[in-house]
Chain A
């Protein structure tokens, strides 16, 4: 029992981190960024190249991955999302194409086979019969820290409040002197940064492979759908629901049904309560 709680907490922390960047774009920009998984892909591979292959210190590798993620996010907004002027279908389709292009690029450079990242923080300990790696523990603590920082940032800072305003009512925000374009730009960059960071942790926990963008995208989608649009706290709660559900499915029911429950949850919530469990909240 205790073992399930420990594992559930750790996994959920990682899921929250993965979903965060996706939620931000969905609430501020109101578009589904299907290339979100590509940030994780890029982040993971940058870290792999810089830190594992070239031997640059891990913290620098992580920072660099985050910066590249940020840059990709900014470029994506400028070159792709902005020219399509809020045409949702067009943004969804073009980001989907982009994700496939990035995947092909990774296969071209690194080949098809999966790679394993070394733990960012090495070491392992046993808690209540469950093996706990310091790496995942660091990811979870990091994830909580990032989430609280983000919460504080959105509530307390000028830019954060502007983001809230744009997420609630773009036109209204524009009238009251906020430049939605700059806020969007900022959010895309931030989302890319979060995505790439999550990618490094996700990859160091699981694996690096050219198709690794699909699974986190689905987790992010599940969290956003089940939680409803754009609440940081909602994201945190739902990440825990999904994380615990998966751990429970594996431990108690049947491991091969792990993914099935997440899918059923998505379909169920969308059909029964389309606005999500926590409805439409402010950011």
Chain B
């Protein structure tokens, strides 16, 4: 896997920081971090699939929505215990992952992105039409059972979920499997040529991504306590997930986490100064400029900064 001493050190530092955070910040800030944690999970899920394989998913809210809706419906309408509802939601989301996977057998690139977008729009419309007594129709559902109460508990739950997912995905992507997935992103034909089954590899990536999305979606709805189709199957939600992954740095797993924290805090810290719509304008503009300036993300900027500090020579040769 090529693990180095500084990998251990960085992860240990990351976990230590996450554990120590509640000692230093207010409850309000903890609430913000909880949303950042969930966004990080969704962005990691997107990264596992799209960051590596190059199959850009515009339909991630579709997967997250399956997880969230399944768990919410099971607990609220059928009184299924939450510890059963969440695994069931994850399984359902993985089935959803297979549905998204099918078009990927034949199409890629921009076309694949569009078909996933169509999936999202379709679900948005169907949720309102099919069995509104279960889904709550346009109004969604309120009073969904929550796992925890209070900012501190919510923080520990979401942070441990996020760190566990981030660490396991990071380790997974450092195996040969991860390398093979990256290779698909670069040149699918050559991977096939080298005797590997790209179909199996892709299926693996879709299922892993759906697993994370389902898990995140289910925990998310049991944190929010409510669910509304308009906020979920929404192009703005999709936008936040993708931009978090890309601004942080795609195909690095840790980049999306950085991106999620950056975006969430940017939006929240603008709140006292720009309470209205101009907040989203500034927020979008900063995201756009940052992405245009460094499409490889914040993690690349950090890496460059690191090199500039510690090895002056490497900077002088343009990369």
Which chain A residues have a beta carbon within 8 Å of chain B's beta carbons? 31-32, 80, 83-84, 87-90, 92-94, 96-98, 100-101, 104-105, 107-108, 112, 214, 218, 221, 225, 256-257, 259-260, 263-264, 266-267, 270-271, 274
Contacts and interface: CB of A to CB of B under 8 A. Distances in A.
Q: Which of A31, A83, A225, A263 has the most CB of B within 10 A?
A: A263
Contacts of A259: 121, 125
Interface string B47-91: 000000010100000000000000000000000000000000000
Contacts of B166: none
Contact of A104 (B113, B235, B284): B284
Given A84-B295, A92-B113, A107 B103 contact: no
Given A108-B276, A270-B103, A101 B288 contact: yes
Contacts of B114: 32, 221, 225, 266, 270
9 contacts: A93-B243, A93-B246, A96-B242, A107-B277, A260-B122, A266-B118, A267-B119, A271-B106, A274-B107
B85 to A, nearest CB: 28
A107 to B, nearest CB: 4
Contacts of B243: 93, 97
B292 A80 contact: yes
Contact of B54 (A89, A93, A104, A105): A89
A92 B56 contact: yes
Given A32-B110, A214-B235, A267-B115, A104 B277 contact: yes
Contacts of A112: 277
A216 B56 CA distance: 22
Given A104-B280, A105-B281, A267 B103 contact: yes
Interface residues of B, number: 40
A102 B246 CA distance: 20
Nearest to A110: B277
Nearest to A87: B295
A107 B122 CA distance: 26
Given A32-B110, A32-B113, A270-B114, A257 B239 contact: no
Given A221-B117, A274-B107, A263 B277 contact: no
Given A88-B110, A266-B115, A270-B103, A94 B125 contact: no
B30 interface: no
Contacts of A271: 102-103, 106-107, 115
B61 to A, nearest CB: 13
Interface string B258-301: 00000000000000000011101101110110011001000000
Given A97-B287, A264-B122, A271-B106, 6 more contacts: A94-B288, A96-B242, A97-B239, A97-B284, A101-B288, A271-B115
A266 B122 CA distance: 10
Contacts of B129: 256-257, 260
A96 B240 CA distance: 11
Nearest to A257: B129
Q: Which of B113, B236, B283 has the most CB of A within 10 A?
A: B113
B11 interface: no
A97 B56 CA distance: 15
A21 B126 CA distance: 30
B14 interface: no
A226 B235 CA distance: 22
Contacts of B283: 104
A271 B277 CA distance: 39
Contact of A260 (B111, B125, B246, B278): B125
Nearest to B291: A94
Nearest to B295: A90
A108 B125 contact: no
A207 B110 CA distance: 29
Interface string B168-182: 000000000000000
B109 interface: yes
Contacts of A214: 235
Closest 5 CB pairs of A and B: A101-B284, A104-B280, A104-B281, A263-B122, A107-B277
